[in-house]
């Protein structure tokens, strides 16, 4: 029986909205902003700090700063006083939270590498959402982004996700073999949700029979 759905998505393809609709239809818990909030709580840092680090690798200046802390005498003495929240720390906490959500069941989990953390669980449906570039820009414009910002975000955010998945999971993004289905969201959010629900029913019927 399917008890968890992971939603990986291209930026601007509507993954957050579709996950929200899906969780409402199923009556399941949505782990999107809640996931970020829980990571921030466990890391003992502001939510904004997690938001700029999750699903990204650390920038060069941050990696150099960490190297200094590890290598310098002063840094080693004072490291325990500094709450350095880097991408690796966030990734480790993310895995803990995702595994907890999966153990609880009845969860829709958005991004953050959840599809890889839960790749061996038979009760998990792994979905990838994508859309043409122009359609993603239209969504971002509807959210109030400027045209220049929308075009830049569509390119840069997904590049960061590519780097993140390659570095920490050693696979290409998207890793097609890990997903049960990949859906073009231009068919409409409601249609996507219905497809996912039908997919869950089909798998559950197959398991029962």
Residue 90 sits in a domain of what CATH number?
Answer: 3.40.50.300
Q: Which residue has the tokens 């019927």?
A: 205
Helix (H) or strand (E) holding 156: helix 147-169
Beta-bridge partners for 124: 4
pTM here is 0.86
Domain that holds residue 158: 4-208
pLDDT at site 209: 57
DSSP characters over 46-63 = -HHHHHTTTTSPPPHHHH
Q: CA–CA separation, 8 vs 126, rounded Å? A: 8
Number of separate domains in the chain: 1
List CB contacts of 49: < 8 A, sequence separation 6 or more: 40, 43, 85
Q: What is the pLDDT of residue 57?
A: 83
pLDDT along the chain (209 residues), means of 10: 97 97 98 95 90 76 45 43 69 95 96 96 97 97 95 94 93 95 97 97 78
């Amino acid at each position: 029986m399917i008890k968890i759905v992971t939603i990986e998505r291209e930026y601007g393809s509507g993954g957050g909205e579709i996950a929200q609709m899906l969780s409402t239809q199923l009556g399941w818990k949505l782990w999107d902003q809640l996931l970020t909030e829980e990571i921030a709580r466990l890391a003992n840092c502001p939510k904004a700090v997690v938001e700029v680090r999750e699903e990204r690798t650390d920038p060069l200046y941050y990696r150099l700063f960490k190297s200094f802390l590890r290598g310098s005498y002063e840094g080693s003495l004072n490291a325990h006083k500094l709450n350095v929240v880097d991408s690796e720390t966030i990734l480790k906490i993310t895995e803990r939270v995702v595994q907890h959500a999966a153990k609880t069941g009845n969860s829709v989990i958005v991004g953050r590498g959840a599809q890889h953390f839960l790749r061996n669980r038979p009760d998990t449906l792994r979905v990838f959402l994508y859309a043409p570039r122009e359609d993603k820009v239209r969504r971002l414009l509807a959210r109030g982004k400027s045209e220049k910002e929308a075009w830049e975000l569509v390119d840069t955010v997904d590049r960061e996700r590519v780097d993140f998945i390659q570095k920490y999971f050693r696979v290409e993004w998207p890793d097609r073999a890990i997903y049960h289905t990949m859906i073009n969201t231009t068919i409409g959010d409601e249609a996507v949700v219905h497809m996912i629900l039908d997919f869950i029913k089909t798998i559950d019927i197959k398991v029962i029979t």
